[in-house]
Structure 1
């Protein structure tokens, strides 16, 4: 493996916690929208939500983080992670396939509301990239339950990947990190005073970069614990 490849894996590994934070961000949005609609329904407020599209837009972004997590974990750990690895995760097949419908076909799949909850009313039908007809059975669960059950199981699997393969994520590289910082500092959008500060403190910054070693496994597990706790207390 070249130094550039090692550096790339290190960078990808360092961003997994951010992708998990993004996952939690959209999950919280879904929880908030669903709770608002349900509380308005129980209070007899009509309409329960004047921005019906919010749930689809938020759900679309949430679903896409599943693929991103899988891909970044593969890259950072150098381990092939098959979709079958997630077979025990409740609704994993649905999330994988509806992600394809959302990303490749632009579908808005949440299309039903009843008694304060959002649902998917009918099967999702599409043609995949091999020309095969796919019919994805609509889940019986409401959207909030669906997302919470999926997330609870998914975080367990991500934890296992971190435990088993996290040590493969590089925590340092010999690539000159200062050149990346210098490239940024040379951008015309960076104010002159910032460039001056950078030059004045260049040696200190180099020393700090050389000494810094991040802990990707701890970062990942901290964030999966946060998401698991959110699911358990919603």
Structure 2
């Protein structure tokens, strides 16, 4: 069981960089759409529906990505990353409530536009797990600002959490084992026969090379988080 937990942590650690990039992608969709609608407003032109959808759907994906990264980094590091830590960030309390509203209720959250900027129009009301009415105050900041400020703080929190664990041997090494390659080449229907034969003929050499690979998924994820912080900082200066 201990080996399985260790392997699970390594698997998840190798997914973190991709999820950070995905968060950056959705944030970029929101920011770019907000910039475009402001430009159109200044030019006295209407905003097309594609821009509205990019903001609403992009925010929804961003909120869900926060939950995914919270869970993934907690699993990879083995250290707790409670929502209370996230709630202490700028707009953290709102993002916690908004994530629940988006995921559990399908609430679009973003429903107001004024002078070229998107806003949360009013407090959000929802029913919690225990049947209790929950109200989520609307932030005064526009959507572009709150997404950038929250994501910058969130990225810094994730970076701090990963740095505390990146030197741990359990997270380092080849992303996959020779046994996993055996399963892939033995069971996959998309690998051509010549590639399967090439692997089998060189399996021992591949297995030896795997043992020498230096791979630190936590450090890799920290680099992506640094890039995300830099993007947030730069976008807020515009």
Structure-1 separation of matches of 2:90 and 2:140: 13
CA 194–174 in structure 1, closer or farther in 2 if over 3 Å, else same = closer
- Residue 173 of structure 1, CA deviation: 7.5
CA 176–215 in structure 1, closer or farther in 2 if over 3 Å, else same = closer
CA contact (8 A) 2:163 2:219 kept: no
Farther-moved stretch of structure 1 (75-84 vs 98-107)? 75-84
Structure-2 separation of matches of 1:151 and 1:175: 27
1:89 aligns to what SS in structure 2?
coil
- Residue 37 of structure 1, CA deviation: 0.9
CA 231–174 in structure 1, closer or farther in 2 if over 3 Å, else same = closer
Structure 2 counterparts to residues 56-71 of structure 1, below 5 A:
56-71=56-71
Tell me how many residue pairs correspond in the alignment.
233
- Residue 176 of structure 1, CA deviation: 8.1
Bigger relative contact order, structure 1 or 2, given CA contacts below 8 A and separation 6+? 1
Aligned to 1:202: 203
Farther-moved stretch of structure 1 (196-205 vs 100-109)? 196-205
Structure-1 separation of matches of 2:168 and 2:70: 16
Structure-1 separation of matches of 2:87 and 2:168: 24
CA 3–213 in structure 1, closer or farther in 2 if over 3 Å, else same = farther
Residue 34 (structure 2) pairs with residue 34 (structure 1): yes
Q: TM-score scaled by structure 2?
A: 0.90
CA 85–180 in structure 1, closer or farther in 2 if over 3 Å, else same = same
Aligned to 1:135: 135
Aligned to 1:219: 220
CA 176–141 in structure 1, closer or farther in 2 if over 3 Å, else same = closer
Structure-1 separation of matches of 2:105 and 2:88: 27
CA 174–17 in structure 1, closer or farther in 2 if over 3 Å, else same = closer
Farther-moved stretch of structure 1 (55-64 vs 191-200)? 191-200
Structure-2 separation of matches of 1:88 and 1:175: 33
Task: Please list the CA deviations of residues 110-163 of structure 1 after superposition, one character each: whole Å capped at 9, or x if unmatched.
Answer: 101111111110111110112111010011111100101101111221121122
Aligned to 1:75: 75
- Residue 203 of structure 1, CA deviation: 2.5
Structure 2 counterparts to residues 59-138 of structure 1, below 5 A:
59-138=59-138
Task: Please list the CA deviations of residues 45-91 of structure 1 after superposition, one character each: whole Å capped at 9, or x if unmatched.
Answer: 22x12322222111111111111111111111111222222233101
2:170 aligns to what SS in structure 1?
coil
Aligned to 2:231: 230
1:27 aligns to what SS in structure 2?
helix
Question: Considering only aligned residues, what root-mean-square deviation do their CA atoms show, in Å?
Answer: 2.0
